[in-house]
Amino acid sequence: MAVTVGLVAQVIEKIAPKSWAEEWDNVGLLIGSGSKPVERIMLTLDCTLDVIEEAKEYGVQLIVAHHPIIFRPLKNLRSDNAAAQVPLSLFKNDIAYYAAHTNLDQSRLSSSPILGELLELDKMEYLERVYDLNPNRNDVEEHGYGVSGYLRHPLKLSDLWEKFLEKLKEAQVYAQAYDLTGVRLAGSLDQEIKKVAIVNGSGGRFVPKALFKGADLLITGDVDHHAALDALEGGMAIGDLGHFLTEAPMLKLLKDYLSTEKALQGIEILVSSKNRSPWI
């Protein structure tokens, strides 16, 4: 049986149902037809014109991305509208586009547990468990955002951060090598760290939750000035890896998951080499 865009979508939604996505999110098949045959898939966090050129070069029929390309309202599809260039290019090159965003963040393919395993955290649990109150939602398993857990042995913040960054460079959590650009740390380097919270993506809003859980350190991305001050006032350090580095492990996890699905055997799954952190 030929693999189609719709079949790939079903496989992804088996582990990250669209019903898990936040109401403000825009997930699922955003461009293309579910009946389109697929031989090659490209995985990316973001879809840029460079990523589309790469997809064209490899003969990709479907891009599976973490971030939706149609998120804020598009008022037109004019050629002089910068925000319209990506969807226009996808249409022009007949490449379908599927997004798995906050639903993937809550799934077992989330980056947060993998980063927690790098630190060998014990008693890991969701930082924020999500409960489906709508009975029509397909709650196939527990899900939520981020993780928290305990170090096996307390460490000074300076030692823990150095160890963590070294493990990021050495471990096979990424599908390819990335520069650790844009990494920041806030807190006293001599502070003893016992409990760590980790949230992939933009995690500034989880500062209160991490403080409530008793975390000594929150590792996340995109923490703004005021959220960092709130964390420090509460006695919690902040490790900001940036948005890209906290979420890129999902690309390898998603590739491994799709590659083992019997229904998708025979198709080629690539991870974009053009999609990288924008910071230099």
pLDDT digits (tens, 9 = 90+) for 244-274: 999 999 999 999 999 999 999 999 999 999 9
Instruction: Give 73's Cβ-side CA count (13 Å radius).
Output: 1
Instruction: Pick the closest to residue 149 from 123, 127, 168, 126 (CA basis).
Output: 123
pLDDT above 70: percentage of residues in the chain: 97
75-106 per-position pLDDT tens digit: 888 988 988 999 999 999 999 999 999 999 99
CA–CA dist 7, 187 (Å, integer): 47
Average pLDDT over residues 47-61: 98
CB 203, CB 222: distance < 8 Å = yes
Cα 258 to Cα 58, 70, 88, 115: the distances in Å are: 18, 24, 27, 21
The amino acid occupying position 214 is G
The predicted model scores a pTM of 0.94
CA–CA dist 104, 111 (Å, integer): 10
Reading the block at residue 147, the tokens are 């993780």
Average pLDDT over residues 125-145: 77
Reading the block at residue 257, the tokens are 């998951």
